[in-house]
Amino acid sequence: MIVIAGSGVAGSYLAGRLAATGVEFRLYDPKKPGFRIPCGYATNEVTFKKYAGLAGLDGDTYIQRRAGSVIITGEGMPELHFPSTGLCTIDKSRFEGDLVSTVRVERRMAPLPGEDDILVDATGISRHYLGAAPEDFTMHTTEYLSGSASHGEFYFRYFSGGHGYYWEFPLEQGYHVGAGSDSAVLIRKSLENIEHSAIMARDLRLRPLFSRMFSGRAVGVGESIGTVSPITGEGILPSIECAELLFQTISHETDFQEIKIKYGNAVRKKFGHYEKLFSLLMDARRGKMAKPASLAVIPAVKKDFRNFGIDLGIVRVLKELLIR
């Protein structure tokens, strides 16, 4: 029996995929249906539709707003407009609900490890089965649901020195306006005077924890193992893609040791560049960006923004944003 802890996007996607193939599993999550877990809901429409399709859903029906151009700026910089490569917002809560529409979700904390074959840790920041990682790196986030925003478009304002960013993401109605940082002052200042109808907050993991993907019979998926871009905070599609890798592995392999090897290799192959991007973030925080090793990561930065849905394509801007 497979036990899945967590029905966020990673756990729900995996459950939906397993349910369609008749594999036996149990899914646990104490959150109430429809509870809004903090997230900007921004993703890449093209890739999102592909994975929604694999899960038997029509991705088009979840799209809320498509980006025209994307505004990116940093302290002391002008607002720069970039073409979208598919950036949009989706109704993530409804998508997660639909993924598990045929699945019974046990509305409680996942049980302690028992005699189960595989324990899947899809609990995001909590790492219920995997446990804490001493080298973990997270930032605080606060997000408002707001009726208005100062820009009508997708907007990112990076804080200097790798201290996070402020965002405005248009929804079907209203905006997600938020800030993520290791500085409570930066978050508070960015969000003061913004009218809002709801406040959400949680920490976001920015460090890949690929050397801590397994513990006993437990295997991690999604944000629990750090499939979040260290420079954009994108975690929806990476968590879905990670869940697909796990689904493919456990569909073809029953021996847990083999699952560990094959899934571990697949995750490192797909998300290994996050290690480089995390090093870049650390360099930015130490003020040590202007070195050849950091500049060598620029193609990976461009690719990461493109995957998210933004054609950042200007090296000068990356330097402006990140070399501070």
Ligand X SMILES: Cc1cc2nc3c(=O)[nH]c(=O)nc-3n(C[C@H](O)[C@H](O)[C@H](O)COP(=O)(O)OP(=O)(O)OC[C@H]3O[C@@H](n4cnc5c(N)ncnc54)[C@H](O)[C@@H]3O)c2cc1C
| Residues making contact with ligand X (CB under 6 A) | 5-11, 28-31, 37-43, 109-110, 122-124, 126, 128, 141, 143, 169, 178, 202, 204, 222-223, 228, 233-236, 239
Cα 55 to the center of its chain, rounded Å: 18
**Closest approach of ligand X to the CB of residue 149, in Å:** 14
**Closest approach of ligand X to the CB of residue 310, in Å:** 12
**Closest approach of ligand X to the CB of residue 76, in Å:** 25
> Could you tell me the CA-to-CA distances from 5 to 9, 26, 32, 73, 306 in Å, in that order?
12, 8, 14, 38, 31
| CA–CA dist 250, 150 (Å, integer) | 46
Helices (H), 117-213: 184-191
Question: Do 138 and 203 meet the contact criterion of CB atoms below 8 Å apart?
Answer: yes
Counted residue by residue, the chain has a size of 324
Give the H/E segment covering residue 45. helix 45-54
- Closer to ligand X by CB, 91 or 319: give it: 91
**Closest approach of ligand X to the CB of residue 198, in Å:** 12
Question: Do 142 and 164 meet the contact criterion of CB atoms below 8 Å apart?
Answer: no
- Closer to ligand X by CB, 141 or 249: give it: 141
**Closest approach of ligand X to the CB of residue 121, in Å:** 9
- Closer to ligand X by CB, 8 or 170: give it: 8
- Closer to ligand X by CB, 140 or 302: give it: 140
- Closer to ligand X by CB, 5 or 250: give it: 5
